[in-house]
Amino acid sequence: MTGGEPLQRVVHTGERGRIVAVGSAYDTRPENRGRDVVVNASYCGVLPARFVGAHLPRGAIGVDCGIGPEGAGINGLWFLEALGVPAATADVMTVRLGDGPDLYEHGVISRFNQPAGACGVTAGQPVGEAARFLLENDPAGSRPEEVTNREVMATGPGGRRIVCTDSIAFGLPEDRDSSVLVTAGHTGRSALPYLLDVRPWAFICSDGGRGREDSGIAALAPAGEAGIPGATVDAKLAAMGDGHSTYEDGVISAVNEPAAARGVRAGMPAREAATLLLADHPTEETP
C-alpha cells in the first residue's frame, strides 16, 4: 500500500489471531508468525511464497493470476504446503490486483492446498469466509504418509467400491479383491510389488508420461498376468499425485488384457473405465 497507508490492514480479529490484508506477499511480517492469516493481493508463485513462508503465518491467501504456464501463478501453494502453511488463491477476475482489502471483500477461491482443504476451504468460497476458516481451524497434524485423500466414489456389485487415493502405495487390506483403486502415481516396475501385495479388484493409475521404452506402464502387463485388471491415464491430462484428478480428468492411455476383456479402451474417460472395472468378471463363452 502507498500514500501513507499501513502495509498491513487488520480486517478481522478473533480469539486465535487476526486476518490482515496486504497489497503484496512481500508485506508479510515477523509478527504474523503462527498467528495471522495473510490475505495478499499478488500472485501465489514460488517466489512470493518464499516471502510468505519465511514468516510462517497461520494461513495465506493470494491470487491465481490466471495460473499460467506450468501453474506459475499458483505453484507456491505446494511450496507453502511443504512448510505446513494452509494456503489458497482467488480467481484473478474477481479481485483488484494489489488491493488486499478488495481481495478480502470480493475475492472468490479458485485453488487451495491440502492443509487449507482440511480447514474447510473450498473452491467457489468467498475469500473472507475462507480466511476465517483458516484462522479458526487447524489442519490435521498428520505425517505426510497419512495424507492419502482416500474417498469412496461409487459402490457396485457385491459391495465392491471405486476408491480414489493418491498412490497405489496407499492401498489397504480392505481393498483386496474388493476395490477399484484409482490412483495417481506412475505404473512403472516399482508399482508392481504394491499391486501384487494389495491385489485390488482392479486399478487405474497414471502412465507417468510413458517414459523411455514405455517404462511408465511397465507394471500393466505383469499385473494382468497375475489376474489384476488395470489401466493407465494420460499424465498430460490428469494431475499426477491426485487420485481425484485421475478419476475426474483422466483419459485412458493403456490397458492390460483383463481390463480390455471388461471393455476398457484407450481414449475412454477414466470415470467410465472405473465403472466397467467395477462389474463382475466376464464369464468365458461356452463353445
How high is the pLDDT of residue 233? 97
Is the same domain home to 188 and 132? no
Number of Cβ atoms within 10 Å of the Cβ of 165: 22
The residue among 210, 209, 166, 215 whose CA lies nearest residue 188 is 215
Q: Is 273 helix (H, G, I), strand (E, B) or coil?
A: helix
pLDDT tens column, 218-237: 999 999 999 999 999 999 99
Res 1: pLDDT = 41
Tell me if 285 is assigned to some domain: no
> Does any domain span residue 89?
yes
For residue 286, is it within any domain? Answer: no
Same domain, 270 and 164: yes
pLDDT confidence of residue 148: 73
In a domain, 70, yes or no: yes
Which of 93, 109, 136 is the C-terminal boundary of a domain?
136
Mean pLDDT of 264-280: 96
| Cell matching residue 208 | 507417468
pLDDT in tens, 98-120: 999 999 999 999 999 989 999 99
Among 185-189, 199-203, 245-249, 281-285, which is the least confidently predicted range? 281-285
Q: Same structural domain for residues 26 and 117?
A: yes
Report the pLDDT value the prediction gives residue 147, as an integer from 0 to 100.
Answer: 64
Within this chain, do residues 206 and 260 fall inside the same structural domain, yes or no?
Answer: yes
* Mean pLDDT of the region 9-20: 94
Q: Are both 259 and 187 inside the same structural domain?
A: yes
Residue 126 lies in a domain: yes
Indicate the pLDDT class of residue 63, thresholds 50, 70 and 90.
Answer: very high
Assess if residue 284 is contained within a domain. Answer: no
pLDDT digits (tens, 9 = 90+) for 25-38: 999 999 999 999 99
pLDDT number for residue 286: 33
Per the confidence metrics, is the pTM higher than 0.75?
no
Task: Of 190, 199, 193, 241, give the one whose Cα is nearest residue 217.
Answer: 190
Is pLDDT at 83 greater than 60 in this prediction?
Answer: yes
- Do both 159 and 127 map to the same domain? no
220 and 263 housed in the same domain: yes
The larger pLDDT score, comparing residue 283 to residue 229, is at: 229
Does 286 or 39 have the greater pLDDT score?
A: 39
Give the angle subtended at the CA of 31 by the CAs of 28 and 32, to the nearest 5°.
55
Q: Are 97 and 41 in contact (CB under 8 A)?
A: yes
| Residue 181 resides in a domain | yes
Longest dimension (CA), the chain: 88
Name the percent of the chain lying above pLDDT 70: 93
pLDDT of residue 22: 95
pLDDT grade for 143, boundaries at 50, 70 and 90: low
Choose one of 112, 136, 160: the last residue of a domain.
Answer: 136
35 versus 144: which is more confidently predicted?
Answer: 35
Question: In this structure, what is the dihedral angle of CA atoms 57, 32, 133, 61, given to the nearest 10 degrees?
Answer: -70
Predicted local distance difference test score (pLDDT) of residue 220: 97
Residue 75 placed within a domain: yes
Residue 265's domain spans which residues?
Answer: 148-278
Cβ-Cβ contacts under 8 Å for 82 (sequence gap 6 or more): none
152 lies in the same domain as 273:
yes
Q: 157 and 211: one domain?
A: yes
Same domain, 108 and 23: yes
| Per-residue model confidence (pLDDT) at position 285 | 42
Same domain, 108 and 161: no
Instruction: Share the mean pLDDT of the chain.
Output: 92
pLDDT in tens, 158-210: 899 999 999 999 999 999 999 999 999 999 999 999 999 999 999 999 999 99
What is the per-residue pLDDT for 6? 66
Residues 58 and 20 in one domain: yes
pLDDT at 55 over 90: yes
Number of domains in the chain: 2
